[in-house]
Amino acid sequence: MKKLIFLLSLLLLCICFVGCGGDNEEMPHLFSADGDHWTIGFSSVEIAVPENPETPLYIAGYMNGEEFTDILDYQCANAVWLGCGNADGSESGGMLLIGVDCVGLGSDTINRIRDGLSDFAAETGCTSIAVYASHTHAGIDTLGLWGPFAQDGKNQEFVDNVVAAAIAAGKAAYEDRSAGSLLYSETEAENMQYDSRYPLVYDENMHQLRFIPDDSAYNGIRLVFFAAHAESLRGDNLFISRDFPGIMADIIREDCGDDMLFIPGAIGGLIMTPEIRDKALDDGSPDYHVENCIMTGQVLARMLLLYPEHLEIPVAPHIAYAETDFVVPLDNTAFLLYKFLGILHNESGRGTDSETGYYLASRCAAIRFGDSITAAMLPGEIFPELVYEDTDFAMGGPGHVLTEETFPSLSRLAAQYDCGTLLIGGLCNDELGYIVPPRDFLVHPDLPYLEKIEDESGENHYEETNSPGIRTAQVLFAAMEEVFAALADQS
């Protein structure tokens, strides 16, 4: 079978995809608004599960070819309108941030959501739309990677329902908007994360932006950034669920009436929540893992609810959003195979010195809240050391080798442009897979990207098999520098 995959991959090198050019010459798209107060709204729309699907509904994130068996809670499309208003009742403009409870969304699906909101945007003055995935591993496959071998795992009817729900949520969030204030806080998520790959680096805090409406008829709204895979149901799960972010949202709504938008942070490498249910009580039943999910959500929700309000920091009513397109050399022959099989539909083309001769087009962005909080919205699962280490990384080159050139960590880069507190939003506007530090990038010598490998210390380099290549981080950060510079010009 491995030989077959290898031969198919070589064959793909002779196949041309539609696309041209490898260099991005477009300037970043920019939106900025100021006012006397924040204008924010929220909506959540359940994603319908087809009752009599023509093709199977596969669970994403764990095993291949496994259909769901039950529904714990429905996946949702959640949207927040972010804008500013003035004392005279006028509005200075706004944008939509849409989060879908799923494992990931390709740029093709995200573009469908944006296109479906184009008339709405023209009518309302919505200048920007960012769409991300919560990365729940208990959702229906939205990328196509979890079907049987070499088969597209997506159910098109379900994907259509995802798009429809996201569009409906975006429009309803705008209608729900109200005036109010915004507060920032961070709280340590003690003992609620672990890093599955060395070095052990991750953001130990939950970051929260809490909207307090002036009119008590409206709900409060919380944007929660947290670095952990939403897979507390664990690998044998065949239940549809939002996983622990859904438990958190339900508890917070029941406790204080606030709505919550969960945003995954720097989770590459693999940052997870621990099993907090006593393993000694595991009887092998699915209920054990359901209880673990519930307990995880309960602990994290209470951490947020118990945070002292007097320690929250006011955020000035100023918002700015910048995004730019970029292209990544596609070294991963497996990704090329997925495209050939019609599984992945990311924009691609020839024009780079990649191992396959092709590139992937993608998009990155950042949101500035007030004067000193910046959320970097990245199209994949970034390794946290690339964000938080105070260092420069050696660049990768063709052939999976390191060069003498370097690039700064994202926190260093953000500091150069006075971004203030740096938050990370992952899997936004695309899903490029894992974004791995070049210094740690290792692939199988004979079957690169098609076979996992361990290094001399026994460390598993599984993540590289789901990465475009060794140069992904440096290309992404070059694009993020354009984004940070555009935001800095608006300060």
Per-residue pLDDT of the chain (491 residues; tens, 9 = 90+): 343 343 344 444 434 333 333 444 467 899 999 999 999 999 999 999 999 999 999 999 889 999 999 999 999 999 999 999 999 999 988 999 999 999 999 999 999 999 999 999 999 999 999 999 999 999 999 999 999 988 999 999 999 999 999 999 999 999 999 999 999 999 999 999 999 999 999 999 999 999 999 999 999 999 999 999 999 999 889 999 999 999 999 999 999 999 999 999 999 999 999 998 766 666 767 788 999 999 999 999 999 999 999 999 999 999 999 999 999 999 999 998 888 788 888 888 887 789 999 999 999 999 999 999 999 999 999 999 999 999 999 999 999 999 999 999 999 999 999 999 999 999 999 999 999 999 999 999 999 998 989 999 999 999 999 999 999 999 999 999 999 999 998 86
pLDDT value at residue 7 = 38
3-state class (DSSP) for residue 116: helix
Q: Which residue reads 């006397």 in tokens?
A: 36
pTM of the model: 0.94
Q: Which residue reads 């260093």 in tokens?
A: 412
**Residue 364 CB-density burial (10 A; 0-12 exposed, 13-18 middle, 19+ buried):** buried
- Torsion angle of the four alpha carbons 395, 396, 401, 405, in this order, in degrees rounded to the nearest 10: -30
Instruction: Please work out, in degrees rounded to the nearest 5, the angle formed at the alpha carbon of residue 105 by the alpha carbons of 103 and 173.
Output: 95
What would the two tokens of residue 475 be? 């290309």
- Provide the pairing of β-strand 434-435 with 381-382: parallel
pLDDT value at residue 93 = 87
pLDDT value at residue 26 = 61
**Residue 412 CB-density burial (10 A; 0-12 exposed, 13-18 middle, 19+ buried):** middle
Are the CB atoms for 321 and 31 separated by under 8 Å? yes
Instruction: Please work out, in degrees rounded to the nearest 5, the angle formed at the alpha carbon of residue 99 by the alpha carbons of 57 and 441.
Output: 80
Q: Please state, in angstroms and rounded to a whole number, the distance separating the CA atoms of residues 89 and 409.
A: 42
Are the CB atoms for 476 and 435 separated by under 8 Å? yes
Find, among 64, 7, 110, the residue nearest to 347 by Cα: 110
pLDDT value at residue 282 = 65
pLDDT value at residue 184 = 98
pLDDT value at residue 346 = 84
DSSP 228: S
The half-sphere exposure of 97 on its side-chain side, counting CA atoms within 13 A, is 31
Q: Please state, in angstroms and rounded to a whole number, the distance separating the CA atoms of residues 320 and 419.
A: 12
pLDDT value at residue 8 = 44
- Other CB atoms within 10 A of residue 283 CB: 6
Find, among 474, 476, 469, the residue nearest to 331 by Cα: 469
Are the CB atoms for 137 and 233 separated by under 8 Å? yes
pLDDT value at residue 414 = 98
Q: Please state, in angstroms and rounded to a whole number, the distance separating the CA atoms of residues 140 and 241.
A: 9
pLDDT value at residue 12 = 43
3-state class (DSSP) for residue 410: helix
